[in-house]
């Protein structure tokens, strides 16, 4: 089996338009959640979100590109450019032929659906722009990354709701580990902060109207975010041979399915995914210093996740740190695991643990060290990132310092 | 604006050219408009003239709308406007 490392990272999210900006915000415990600036917000009950600000497609993309790039594709391309540029890889010849793009998204071009439904239903138009389909399709972002960077190997899009990115990165990891691909561009993106996207979530009655406060006894729900996280995964010897800067190793992963309920989380399913990732990476539970929690801020997730951590880690659960950065950037749904992987990389490389902000009251059912409100310095050798999706589909990735 | 001027404006925008560079004898190919650009141009024409253009991208030449040149497109639009305003 080949070893897999990360040699490039890129992002855009409510905390910043790049990885350095995002790290700075994570360190400072900045809250990127605020009032939504979207059409018809007055008809929404949920009026907050982790919206990307100051990102205008006009000027960044030409007219033809604008007609083909939904916002989730725009985010993806911006983050991919940062990641691939950092990696220093140039995809030509055999490397291009074997390297591909696997990305996660839950909704794909949600705002394209939204805008065009408005046109035909609300405005009564009988004609839509010819590129509606190629713009909204879930694989549009992966396709445009492949075209822009000449990636001609295996490319596809994975959709498992809130675990999409982790499932996508797991596929990329497996392809490199097995020797199928020398490098893969992977991660995910989401852009659901439009009227229809927020309205759909509102219907489920799990959204907070004021803040995302994971693990806090007074938590009252999740807050949506948007953006992208993109990485270059590369075979270790390939990276070493070219003298690439290695951010960390992807040590292992596991996936599990609750096979029980379409929305309620299962302690057993979450625990099996975490334990499975450690086993796959051949890491002892006691080596894990940091967990980036799924930590949605809902009543059900946070207590279930803490119970699963207690099960898997035993007494070590009280020594490790677990935080939910969704308190800062919101829940990026299909893109969330990718952005949250950055908090794990920051812990490993910089020795800084991103906090869970908005933490106000201890909850006896979440009695772990959730790094409340303020970032902490700590040396961490192994970090894991949890994603537990609606539909009971779980994916956990383990990262390690080389 | 006349139909000719409007069509030339739409096609010039699609081809990223100045309207002066688009003449009635120009073909879409000579202007560098590819198949996606053609479909977008037809959409823009439909929007501008509030007509439905019977165009199937699977077999453009078999459609009852001649896209050989800018002039033939203009003729087609004028015919469709007359037909569809009668309907």
- CB contact under 8 Å between B40 and A127, yes or no, is no
Domain count across chain B: 1
- CATH number of the domain at B82, please: 1.10.1200.10
pLDDT at A342 over 80: yes
CB A190 within 8 A of CB A71: no
Mean pLDDT of B43-54: 93
C-alpha torsion angle, residues A150, A154, A160, A162 (rounded to 10): -40
Whether the CB of A43 is below 8 Å from some CB of chain B: the reply is: no
User: Contact, B70 vs B45, CB < 8 A?
Assistant: no
What's the pLDDT at B63?
A: 76
Helices within chain B (DSSP H only): 3-15, 35-49, 70-86
User: Are A130 and B40 inside 8 Å of each other by CB?
Assistant: yes
CB A129 to CB B40 under 8 A?
Answer: yes
For testing the chain B interface, which of A130, A134, A143 should be mutated: the one with the most B CBs within 10 Å?
A130
Q: Residues of CATH 3.40.47.10 domain(s) within chain A?
A: 4-241, 252-400
**CA separation, residue B67 to residues A125, A264, B22, B77 (Å):** 25, 57, 14, 11
pLDDT at B60: 75
Least reliable range by pLDDT among A273-287, A349-363, B62-76: B62-76
Is residue A104 within 8 A of residue A158, CB to CB? The reply is: yes
Residue positions of A annotated with a catalytic role: 162, 294, 331
Is the domain defined by A4-241 classed in CATH 3.40.47.10?
A: yes
User: How far does the CA of residue B66 sit from the closest CA of chain A (Å)?
Assistant: 19
B40–chain A nearest CA distance, Å: 6
Chain B contact for A67, CB < 8 A? yes
Q: Do A130 and B36 touch (CB under 8 A)?
A: yes
Q: What is the pLDDT of residue B61?
A: 75
> What's A162's DSSP letter?
G
Facing A129 at nearest CB: one of B13, B43, B52: B43
Q: What is the pLDDT of residue B87?
A: 61
Domain containing residue B77: 3-86
A123–chain B Cβ distance below 8 A for any pair: no
Output the CA–CA distances (angstroms, integers) from residue B61 to A127, B35, B66, B68, in the order listed: 22, 13, 7, 9
Q: What pLDDT, in 10s, does the model give residues A22-74?
A: 999 999 999 999 999 999 999 999 999 999 999 988 889 998 899 999 999 99
pLDDT of residue A119: 97
pLDDT value for A143: 98
Q: Are the C-beta atoms of residues A40 and A195 closer than 8 Å to each other?
A: yes
Q: Is the pLDDT of residue B59 over 90?
A: no
What is the topology classification, in CATH, of domain A252-400?
Answer: Peroxisomal Thiolase; Chain A, domain 1 (3.40.47)
pLDDT at A122: 96
* pLDDT over 70 (residue A149): yes
Indicate whether A297 pLDDT > 70: yes
Quote the tokens at residue A327.
């308190």
* Exposure string over B11-40, b if 16+ CB within 10 A, otherwise e: bbebbebeeeebeeebebeebebeebbbbb
Calculate the average pLDDT of chain A.
Answer: 97
| B71 Cα to chain A: minimum distance (Å) | 23
Q: Coil, strand or helix: which one is B60? A: helix
- Kindly provide the residue ranges of all beta strands, DSSP E only, lying in A183-223, ordered along the sequence: 183-190
- Would you say A348 and A383 are in contact if contact means Cβ atoms under 8 Å apart? yes
Contact A232, A6 (CB under 8 A): yes
Within A46-194, residue ranges assigned H as helices are 63-68, 71-87, 93-98, 110-117, 132-136, 140-149, 164-177
* Angular region, A277: left φ>0, alpha ψ -120 to 50, beta rest: alpha
For the ranges A337-341, A345-349, B48-52, the lowest mean pLDDT is seen at: B48-52
Per residue in A182-237, pLDDT (tens digit) is 999 999 999 999 999 999 999 999 999 999 999 999 999 999 999 999 999 999 99
- CB burial of residue A235 (10 Å; 0-12, 13-18, 19+): buried
Confirm or reject contact between A127 and chain B (CB < 8 A): yes
A233 three-state secondary structure: strand
Q: Are A296 and A329 in contact (CB under 8 A)?
A: no
Q: Which long-range contacts (CB under 8 A, 24 or more apart) does A15-23 make?
A: A15/A50, A15/A328, A15/A329, A17/A52, A17/A54, A17/A55, A17/A78, A18/A82, A19/A82, A19/A86, A19/A342, A22/A329, A22/A339, A22/A342, A23/A342, A23/A346, A23/A350, A23/A352
CA distance to partner chain B, nearest, from residue A56 (Å) = 22
- With beta carbons less than 8 A apart as the criterion, state whether A78 and A56 touch: no
The pLDDT tens digits of the residues spanning B11-29 come to 999 999 999 999 999 999 9
Residue with the larger pLDDT of the pair A57 and A288? A288
Give the per-residue pLDDT at A299: 95
Q: Is residue A396 scored above 80 in pLDDT?
A: yes
Query: Under 8 Å CB-to-CB from A125, ≥6 apart: which residues?
Result: A119
Query: Is the per-residue pLDDT at B84 higher than 70?
Result: yes
With 90 as the cut, is the pLDDT of residue B64 above it?
Answer: no
**Nearest to A165, CA basis, from A272, A3, A11:** A11
pLDDT tens digit string along A330-341?
999 999 999 999
């Amino acid at each position: 089996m080949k070893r897999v490392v990360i040699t490039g990272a890129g992002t855009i999210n409510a905390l910043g338009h790049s990885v350095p900006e995002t790290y700075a915000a994570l360190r400072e415990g900045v809250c990127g959640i605020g009032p939504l600036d979207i059409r018809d917000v007055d008809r929404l009950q949920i009026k907050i979100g982790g919206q990307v600000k100051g990102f205008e497609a006009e000027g960044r993309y030409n007219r033809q590109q604008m007609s083909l790039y939904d916002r989730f594709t725009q985010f993806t391309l911006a983050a991919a450019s940062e990641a691939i540029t950092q990696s220093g890889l140039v995809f030509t010849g055999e490397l291009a032929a074997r390297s591909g793009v696997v990305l996660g998204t839950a909704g794909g071009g949600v705002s394209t659906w939204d805008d065009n439904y408005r046109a035909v239903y609300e405005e009564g138009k009988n004609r839509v722009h010819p590129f509606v389909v190629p713009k909204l399709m879930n694989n549009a972002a992966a396709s445009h990354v492949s075209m822009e960077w000449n990636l001609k190997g295996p490319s596809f899009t994975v959709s498992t709701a809130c675990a999409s990115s982790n499932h996508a990165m797991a596929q990329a990891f497996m392809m490199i580990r097995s020797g199928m691909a020398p490098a893969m561009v992977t991660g995910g993106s989401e852009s659901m902060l439009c009227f229809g996207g927020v309205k759909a979530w509102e219907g489920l009655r799990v959204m907070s109207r004021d803040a995302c406060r994971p693990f806090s006894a007074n938590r009252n729900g999740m807050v949506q975010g948007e953006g992208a996280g993109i990485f270059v995964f590369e075979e270790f010897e390939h990276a070493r041979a070219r003298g690439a800067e290695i951010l960390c190793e992807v040590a292992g992963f596991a996936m599990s399915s609750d096979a029980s309920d379409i929305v309620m989380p299962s302690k057993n399913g979450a625990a099996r995914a975490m334990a499975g990732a450690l086993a796959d990476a051949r890491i002892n539970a006691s080596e894990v210093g940091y967990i980036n929690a799924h930590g949605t801020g809902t009543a059900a997730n946070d207590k279930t996740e803490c119970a699963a951590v207690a099960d898997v880690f035993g007494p070590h659960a009280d020594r490790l740190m677990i935080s939910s950065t969704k308190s800062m950037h919101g829940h990026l749904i299909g893109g969330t695991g990718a952005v949250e992987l950055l908090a794990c990389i920051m812990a490993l490389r910089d020795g800084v643990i991103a906090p869970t902000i908005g933490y106000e009251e201890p909850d006896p059912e979440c009695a772990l060290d959730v790094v409340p409100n303020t970032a902490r310095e700590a040396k961490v050798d192994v970090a894991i990132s949890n994603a537990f999706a609606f539909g009971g589909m779980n994916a956990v990735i383990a990262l390690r310092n080389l | 604006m006349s139909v000719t001027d409007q069509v030339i404006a739409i096609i010039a925008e699609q081809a990223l050219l100045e309207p002066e560079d688009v003449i009635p004898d120009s073909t879409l190919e000579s202007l560098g408009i590819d198949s996606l650009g053609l479909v977008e141009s037809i959409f823009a024409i439909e929007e501008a003239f509030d007509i439905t253009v019977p165009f199937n991208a699977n077999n453009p030449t078999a459609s009852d709308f001649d896209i050989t040149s800018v002039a033939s497109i203009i003729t087609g639009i004028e015919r469709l406007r007359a037909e569809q305003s009668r309907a």
